[in-house]
Amino acid sequence: MTVPAGYYIPAGTRLMVNIWKLHRDPQVWDDPLEFQPERFLTKYKEVDVQGKNFELLPFGGGRRICPGISFGLRFTELTLASFLHGFEMEKFSDEAINMTGTFGSTNMKATPLEVFLKPRLSPNLYA
């Protein structure tokens, strides 16, 4: 029997995947610790976040994939578009934004992002 990558996993084995390590593997990603969202618009545009590519599994995969993935993706796009349309953002300082994250099951910023928001539209439209 041919075993992929030389591993034999017996039936009934409980397999735990270290997604944190997978998402930061330099053999998979160029500069994995650098914040480069544009990489998914160019070199890695074929990577699917819906659990079909094992390089990136933000919503899990297989039978345990998040059931709200479609809603989450669309709601996030709508919220971000509404926010960017409604406000102008400025940083308080000229320092680079620290994108260091914390360790855990959710990806939180280690330092808060402090920005100044200025409404683009008339105040009665924000009520």
Summarize the annotated binding site for heme as residue ranges: 66
**3-state DSSP assignment of residue 71:** helix
Cα separation, 32 vs 26, in Å, equals 6
Could you tell me which residues are annotated as the binding site?
A: 66
CA distances from 72 to 33, 68, 78, 88, 114 (A): 25, 6, 10, 24, 25
Beta strand spans in the chain (E): 87-91, 115-119
